[in-house]
Structure 1
Amino acid sequence: MIDENERTPLMDDPVKTGAPEDKYGLAWICCSFLGLGLLFPFNCYIAASDFYATLYPNVSYAFLMSLAYNFFSWILLFVSLRVMPKFSFRLRINTFIIGGAAILFVMPFIPSMISQETGAVSFSLVLTFLSGCLSSLLFGSVMGLVALFPPTYTGSVMSGIGVAGICASLLRIITKVAMPNTEQGQKTSSYLYFFLGSFILLTCFLAFQLLLRLPITKYYMTSYEASRAKNGSINDSTNNTKNEVPLKPLLLKVWKEAFVVFTVFFTTLSLFPGVTGLVQNIDSNLGQDWFNIIFTSFFMVGDFIGRTAPKWFILFNPNNLWIPTVARLIFFPLFSLCVKPVVFKSIYIYFTFMFLFSLTNGYCGTLAMMFGPTKADEHEKEVTGIVMSFFLNFGIWVATMFAFLLSYLLTGSTGINF
C-alpha cells in the first residue's frame, strides 16, 4: 500500500466521479491562458531591458524594476489569505487582469510625458510597483481557483506562466526586427511591443470568461462551495464568504511543498535577471544587445519546457522533491564564475547553464505547486492555492533583496546607481 505522503497527482483519479468532461481540453487551455496572464507583465519588462537601457543609461533599471515589481507582493498575498475569499473569483480576476493591461499600455508613454530622467524612472517604477501588486493578487486568486480542479490544471497554469516568458521574448524580438534600426524606428517598436502586450492580457481576460461558462468549472466551483458550507466556511445569513480555514494545521500539511517552492524561486530570482544580466558576450559575433535578448529567451524556453513536463512524467514525489531543489543552489557559484572572476569563457557554457537553470526552475516549481493542493481537504483548497502562491512570491521577494548583495559582491555596486 502506498503511503499517503508519497502519492503524486498522477497516481490519483484526475477527475471526480460525476464531473463533466473537459471537452477538447478547453478548461485546460483557458487555465493556461490565465497562467500566461499571471507573470506576463513582469516578463514584458524583463524582455524590454534593451528599451530601458537606452532610455536610462545611467540607471541599473533591471534591479530597480525587479525590486519594485516584487517588493509588496508577498505582503499582499498574506493579507489576501483573509480578505480575498470574501470576493468572487469573477470580480477579483477580471479586475486584476484589466488593471495590469492598462498599466502595460501606458508604460511606453512615460518618457514622452516626463522629460527628466529621474522623474521618468520614478514614475515608471511606481507603475511597475502597482503592476506587481495586481499580478500578486491575481496570482493568489488564479492558484486558488485552479486548486479546486484536478492537479493537472495547476500544471496548466504553471505551463502558461512559462509561455508568458517565451511570448514576451518573441514579441520583443519581432517588434525589434520589424522596425528600422534608427532611434525613431526602435521607439516605434517599443510602442508596438507594449501595445501588443496589453492585447495579450485582454486575450487572457476573454479566456477567463469562457472558463467560467464551462460545465466542468461550474461543477468544481459548486462542489467547493458545498464543501465550504458543510465545514462552516460560509456565512449563510449574509451570503458572504469568509475564510475560516485554520492556517497552522494547513501549513503542517503542505510545509514540504511550501519549502520547495520558496527555495526554487529564491534561487532563480536571486540570479535572474540581475546576475545573469551581468554575463558578457566574449567569444561570438553577437552584439551584447542581441546576446542579452537571446540569453533571456533561452531562460524562457527552458522554463516553459520544465513547467510543461509534469503533464507527461513526474520523477519525484513530495518526500524527495527537496533534493533537486537544494541541488539547484550550485547555480550561485556557477553563474558567479561567469561574471567575476570569469572562469567560464564560452558562450556555449553560458547557454548550457541557463538552460539547465531554467529547466529545473520550471519543473521543480510546477511539481511543488501541483502537490500542495492534493494535501488539503476540499474546503481548504482555495486557501492552499493562496498559501502556495504566498511562499512562491515570498521567495521572489527575499531573492530580490539578496540580489543586491550579489550585485555588490560581484561588481562593487548595489545596482541602484542614478
Structure 2
Amino acid sequence: MDATGSINTEALDSIENEDEVIDDSEERELVTDSCSTKVLDTTEEPRDRYCIVYILFYLFGVTSLVPWNFLITANDYWMYKFRDVTPNNLTMVVRKTQFQAEFTSYLNVATAIPNLIFLVLNSLYGHLVSTKSRLQGSLIVVTICFLITTAMVQVNTDEWQNGFFIVTIVSVVIMTAASAVFIGGLVGIASRFSKEYMAAVVSGQSLGGIIAAVAQIISLAFKISPLHSALIYFIIADLMVITSLISYVMLYRIDFFTYHILRGCGGIASNRHRTVSMTAIIKKIWVYAFSIFAVFGISMAVYPAVTVLVESHPITSGTDWNNIFFVPVVNYLIFNCGDYSGRLVAGFLLRPNNQWIIAGASVLRIIGVPMLMLCNAQPRKHLPVVFLWDWEYIIIMIVFAFTNGYLTNIVMVNSTRVVELHEREKASSLIATMLSVGLVAGAAVGMLLVRLL
C-alpha cells in the first residue's frame, strides 16, 4: 500500500512538474532574445521606473486611432485632390465633383466596416497568434500604408483621379483592419496591468483627436495650402506610428512590462493556459458591453453627421470665426477636449461602480441627441432652431463629449475587473468589438437624423 502510494505520488509529481516545464518553456519562448527572463523566476513585482510603460501606453492609445484622426482631418487635401480639373471650367461657381461630394461617405464605410470585422475576428481567433506578433505586425502594416499615403501627396493625380481614389480606399481599408487588430491586442495587454494603464490607453485615443484638430486649426490660421498641410499631417502620423513600433519592441526589455505580460498582475503563469469560455465571459460583462454600445451608438448618431452642419449665430456672418474656425474649433477641438477631460477625470474617480447605474447613465445620454439637433444645424426643413447662440451649442457639446469620455473609461476599466485574470484579454476584445458595433449603428442612424432636421 505504501509502495503503491509512493509510486502514485511520484507519478503525480512527475506530471505536475512536466506541466510546469511546458508552461515555463512557452513563456520563455515568447520573450526569447527580446527581454530578460528573470521575471519568470521571481515573485517580486518590478517597478515602472520613470513611468516609462505608462507613457508608452499613452502613446499607443494615440497611435491606435491615428489613421482615422489624421485622414478625416485632412478634408481640404481630399477636396483638392478630387477637384474639377477640366480646363473649360471658366465659371466662377465652385461646384463639388462627385468624388468630392461622396469621398467622406466612402471614407466612413472604408473605416467602419473593416474595423468591425477585424475586431470580431480578433476576439474570436486572436488567441491563435501571439499578442506580440499581432501588435508588431499591425503597426508595420499601418506604417507602410501611411508612408504610401504620404508619398501620394507629392504625386500629381489630376489625370488619374479614379485610380487615386481606388488606391486611397484600398489603403484605408488595409490600414483600418491593421489598426483594429492593434486596438484589440492593446486593450488586451492593458487589461493585465492596474487600472491606470487601461485609462492611459483610453485617454491616449482621445488625445490623438486633439492633436489632429490643433494641427488643422494651425494650418487654417496660417493659411497653409492643402498639399502642405496634408504633408505635415501625414509626416506627423508616420513619426508617431514608427515611434510606437520601435517602443513596443523595446518594451519587452523592460522587466515591469514583461512581468505583467507573463504573470498577469502577479498571477501564476499557468493562468495564461487555462481554457477561456466565451459564453462565461459574455454572462459576466454583457451589461458593460451594452453600455459601451449605447455610449458610442448615441454619440455617433449626431457626431459628426449632425454637429458638422451646425453654424455660428447669424450675427457672426462674414467673419473668420463663422467662415473658417467655427466648425474646426467647436466640432473637433472642443469635442475632443471634452472627451479627453472626461477620460482623465474617470481615471481618477472610477465612479459609479455599479454596472446597472453605468448602463442607465449611458442610455440617459440620448437626451443630447435632440438637443444637438435643435441647435443651428443648416440646412433644415422640419425642426425649429431652439439653441441659436454659440455658447448654448458649446455647453451642450462639452457635456455630451465629457460624458462620452467619462463613461468610456469607466466601462473599459471596470469590465476587466469582473472576469478572471486569464479572461481579461478576451473580455477587453469583446468590449472593443461592441464599441465598434456602436460606431457602425450610430453612423447609420446619423444618416437618418440628418434628413429629419
Shared fold, TM over 0.5: yes
Does the alignment pair 1:273 with 2:304?
yes
Separation in 1, partners of 2:404, 2:308: 17
Say which is worse superposed, 369-378 or 109-118, in terms of deviation.
109-118
* Residue of 426, 429, 433 corresponding to 1:383: 426
* Residue of 46, 50, 54 corresponding to 1:20: 46
Does the alignment pair 1:325 with 2:352?
no
Deviation at 1:275, TM superposition (A): 1.5
One-letter amino acid matched to 1:19: E
Contact 1:62–1:274 (8 Å) recurs in 2: no
One-letter amino acid matched to 2:424: K
Matches of residues 277-288 of structure 1 in structure 2 within 5 Å? 277-283=308-314, 284=316, 285=319, 286-288=321-323
Residue 65 of structure 1 corresponds to: 107
**Once superposed, which parts of structure 1, at least 4 consecutive aligned residues long, lie more than 6 Å away?**
none
Classify 1:403/1:105 alpha carbon distance in 2 versus 1 (closer, same or farther; 3 Å): farther
Residue 229 of structure 2 corresponds to: 189
- Give ranges in structure 2 of 5+ residues lacking alignment: 1-42, 83-95
Classify 1:173/1:104 alpha carbon distance in 2 versus 1 (closer, same or farther; 3 Å): farther
Greater RCO (Cα-Cα under 8 Å, separation 6 or more): 1
Residue 405 of structure 1 corresponds to: 448
Separation in 2, partners of 1:287, 1:76: 40
Count of paired positions: 380
Deviation at 1:114, TM superposition (A): 5.7
Separation in 1, partners of 2:205, 2:71: 15
Separation in 2, partners of 1:75, 1:258: 17
Separation in 2, partners of 1:260, 1:39: 21
Greater Rg by CA: 2
Separation in 2, partners of 1:173, 1:138: 29
Residue 279 of structure 2 corresponds to: 248
One-letter amino acid matched to 1:140: G
Residue 148 of structure 2 corresponds to: 106
Does the alignment pair 1:346 with 2:375?
no
Contact 2:115–2:180 (8 Å) recurs in 1: yes
Instruction: Provide, for residues 232-283 of structure 1, a one-character-per-residue CA deviation record: whole Å limited to 9, x for no partner.
Output: 44xxxxxxxxxx4111111111111111111111111222222211112334
* Residue of 361, 375, 393 corresponding to 2:436: 393
Instruction: Provide, for residues 67-103 of structure 1, a one-character-per-residue CA deviation record: whole Å limited to 9, x for no partner.
Output: 2201122222222223222222222112212322332
Separation in 2, partners of 1:193, 1:210: 26
Contact 2:188–2:426 (8 Å) recurs in 1: yes
Does the alignment pair 1:218 with 2:258?
yes
Does the alignment pair 1:305 with 2:341?
yes
Identity of aligned residues (%): 23
Partner SS state of residue 21, structure 1:
coil
Classify 1:52/1:348 alpha carbon distance in 2 versus 1 (closer, same or farther; 3 Å): farther
Contact 1:73–1:397 (8 Å) recurs in 2: no
Residue 144 of structure 1 corresponds to: 188
Deviation at 1:395, TM superposition (A): 1.0
* Residue of 286, 291, 294 corresponding to 2:326: 291
Separation in 1, partners of 2:226, 2:334: 23
Give the TM-score taking structure 2 as reference length.
Answer: 0.78
- Give ranges in structure 1 of 5+ residues lacking alignment: 1-16, 234-243, 411-418
Partner SS state of residue 181, structure 2:
helix
Instruction: Provide, for residues 361-413 of structure 1, a one-character-per-residue CA deviation record: whole Å limited to 9, x for no partner.
Output: 11101100000111111111111111111111111122222222223333xxx
Say which is worse superposed, 277-286 or 224-233, in terms of deviation.
224-233
Instruction: Provide, for residues 312-348 of structure 1, a one-character-per-residue CA deviation record: whole Å limited to 9, x for no partner.
Output: 2233113311222111111211121122333321121
Deviation at 1:63, TM superposition (A): 3.1
